[in-house]
Structure 1
Amino acid sequence: MRMYIVDAFTNTPFSGNPAGVVLLDAPADEDWMQSVAAELKHSETAFVEANAPEPHPLRWFTPTTEVDLCGHATLATAHVLGDSRTFETRSGMLTCTATGDGWVEMDFPADPGDPVDADPTLVDALGGVTIEHVERGVSDLLVVAVNAAQVRAVRPKATLAELPARGVIVTAPSDVDGVDFISRCFYPDAGVDEDPVTGSAHCTLAPYWARRLGKRELTGRQVSERGGTVRMTLSGDRVSLTGQAVTIARGELCV
């Protein structure tokens, strides 16, 4: 079966977030998909039944576990398949629309957070971050730092994995022209110490920054080592995430 490696949320090779994309001819065994994802070692690998009628069944696996929602691997899948596609996933129907010039718009459920107190484990794990605010979404903890420099400098401790959440998003107002906010995302409990660019995290980032900045259309920059840009439009309980992608490799999976 065909397999691809795609850098998502970028138009530059070897930046953004790399994802594996496997085109299935039929439903696959869950343990087998997990083994493939562990072999590829990307933060997520997408498995899509490409020949099935739309909505195409789509699942995502980290090297250690299946996840309910993954933005960059969905973008990578839509990029590989081309045109506009609808996928059936554990988070419901996801529609991807090609908008021209290599951009793909994805319609995702928004995941607004509720304010929570900063857990002592969280404060200790994030070290030098001065925490202004913490929210809890369905998936992640959103931590607002006092400035962009602290987001760029943070080096979380291993104890971050002990928190009762999929992962931790650290964000602050932007220090980049044309960008509303910056962020970094950490998922050690899912086998991903730092995710280069995280589409699903922007389902929580968008509601927070839309409320704080008073605007529905936003641009975020994830300032990991590889880096990537996500455009967002918040509309009720949905958020559109728009990004570009680059195919790095095409091959044949032999097992």
Structure 2
Amino acid sequence: MPEVRFRIVNVFAETAFGGNPLAVVEDASQLDAQTMQAIASQFNLSETAFLFESETASAALRIFTPAYELPFAGHPALGAAAVVRRVYQTGDTVTLQLPAGQIALQAQQDRWRLRAPVPLHRLCELDRRQIAEVLGLGPDQLAGEPVWMSVQGNEQLLVSVKDEVAIEGCQPDAGLMARRVRNVAGQSKVYVFARTEEGFLARFFWLKQGCVMEDPGTGSAAANLGGWWQLQCGRVPLKAQISQGRQTGRLNCLSLEVATDGGIYVGGRVVELGCGVLHL
């Protein structure tokens, strides 16, 4: 019976049980896509990461939600990099080869940062009233026009709202979300955020089997927010903290930097919680 080692890490965590949990399979070389999907479904976390040896990078990485594979996601990349450093003894600089391309990550102790590709964007076909109805808000609570942003093929609808009251008041309607909010892959994903003195407050919603789910910490959405900032502000640099996940009981603290050269950097602390073995 094959044995597969895995580690559990919390990404964007400031405490042992904060952040967004991630399972990382250390060596998935003997696993096919169907088995990886089954393992991700078994863990039932936002994502599960699978590592492979690579000739061109520190490691190759595939990422699965409980329902499908993702070409790129931020919190699995950061968490996987921490495991690669520990298992592969790479040091503080790690490169990961994903289906969407290669990314570079850098660590300072237990804090990791990645440089994300500049996201693509397209206009949202819905008006403010329609989006507000999806979120259970009033149109006057939105702070700008919603826009689709896509980093490495992970497309999400970004909705800027006016304040913390609007953030707290979000109550997405699953039916409206399913009908109105569909990305190019047919998935329903909405990232809602508000500007604060420290940076941003944010929430991320998606649909799973017709039910609205909330992700506690979303690195790809933070990268897409960097793209939104460039779209709104051009080359104006940004250094901000994103607070996400409080409503889920798991506070996530993400760093976002948009540099004058167009670089978008997303980071956070990675805490290893434990390890184990799967008997397949």
> What is the 5 A alignment of 1:27-176?
28-49=31-52, 51-55=53-57, 56-82=59-85, 83=91, 84-98=93-107, 100-119=108-127, 122-129=131-138, 130-132=141-143, 133-138=145-150, 139-159=155-175, 160-162=177-179, 163-165=181-183, 166=187, 167-174=189-196
Shift of 1:180: 1.1
CA contact (8 A) 2:194 2:202 kept: yes
Which residue does 1:242 correspond to in 2?
267
Equivalent pairs counted in the alignment come to 250
1:228 alignment counterpart = 252
- Aligned-pair identity in percent equals 26
Give yes or no for the alignment of 1:208 onto 2:228: yes
User: Residue 21 of structure 2: which of 18, 25, 30 is its match?
Assistant: 18
Aligned equivalents of 1:187 and 1:168: distance in 2? 6
Calculate the TM-score normalised by the size of structure 2.
0.81
Report deviation, 1:72: 0.6
Quick one: distance in 1 between partners of 2:208 and 2:134? 14
Q: Which amino acid aligns with 1:217?
A: K
Distance across 2 between alignment mates of 1:223 and 1:33: 27
- Between the aligned partners of 1:205 and 1:137, the Cα distance in structure 2 is 8
With 69-78 and 34-43 compared, the bigger mean Cα shift is at 69-78
DSSP-derived class of the 2:279 partner:
coil
Tell me by how many angstroms 1:21 deviates.
Answer: 0.5
- Give the drift of 1:47: 0.5
- Please list the CA deviations of residues 36-68 of structure 1 after superposition, one character each: whole Å capped at 9, or x if unmatched: 00000000000111x444412211111111112
Q: Distance in 1 between matches of 2:227 and 2:136?
A: 26
Tell me, yes or no, if the aligned pair for 2:202 and 2:242 is still in contact at 8 Å.
yes
CA separation in 1, counterparts of 2:262 and 2:42?
A: 36
Measure the CA separation in 2 of the matches of 1:38 and 1:192: 17
Query: Structure 1 59/192 Cα, relative in aligned 2: closer, same or farther at 3 Å?
Result: farther
Q: Deviations over 1:109-160 (max 9, x none)?
A: 1215344353565332211252232011130100111212211221211122
CA separation of 1:121 and 1:20: change in aligned 2, threshold 3 A: farther
Letter paired with 1:46:
A
**Contact map agreement 1:152 1:223 (CA 8 A) in 2:** no
- Worse overlay, 66-75 or 155-164: 155-164
Gaps of at least 5 residues in structure 2 are 86-90
Summarize deviations over 1:177-199 as a string: whole Å, max 9, x none.
6x211111112158871111000
Q: Residue 169 of structure 1 contacts residue 186 of structure 1 at CA under 8 Å; is this kept in 2?
A: yes
